[in-house]
Structure 1
Amino acid sequence: MAKYLFEANYVGEGIKGLMREGGTKRRDALVDALKSVGGSLECFYYAFGDTDVLGVFDVPDPAGAAALSLMINSTGSVNVRLKPLLTVEDIDEAAKKTPSYRAPGQ
């Protein structure tokens, strides 16, 4: 399973829906959406400032994460952003690789 950090903002009708339904029902809706792509919710928090809601979830593959993001964003009620999370072991493996790259202008 791959872990993703999500950050989201409610917009337009999404704000009204949150106020009408409450936070628990919106979290439950995300849990159901994650189940539909074989995923699960690790944590879910509301905040204020630049981000309305954030948390971490697991999904089996990047396609499932992308499908979920596309579906949620397509509603126009929520703007969600996903960030894949890497373990320290993932970074250890990355540090062992030596990709070839030429910097611009060199």
Structure 2
Amino acid sequence: MQNGYTNIINAGAVELIAISINTQWAISRYVQSHSPDFIMLADSDLLAIGPYNVKSPDLQYANPTAYIINAEGKVAWIDNGARYGHRTTSSQIVAALNGL
């Protein structure tokens, strides 16, 4: 995932933040192993996903969802995965960014 965003992130055009239902410990291990070029936040209590309405039907996890929030702080684009296995691709996000 991260390789598709690297040029845009390095250009300072966007900041990518990932919110994960994993624990802070699990995220720390991921960061140590993969060195992502984006910020990762833990939401193991599922508190952040509620207001964004991205909980799965069984409420055990969040559906993968991507938001683009513009410089004014408004949501400019959303791709809400209908199921857990759906993932927004980096090319979809780059296309959406280019369309803004």
The two structures have a TM-score, normalised by structure 2, of 0.30
Q: Which has the larger radius of gyration?
A: 1
Q: Which has the higher helix share?
A: 1
Larger relative contact order (CA 8 Å, sep ≥ 6): 1
The two structures have a TM-score, normalised by structure 1, of 0.28
Q: Which has the higher strand share?
A: 1
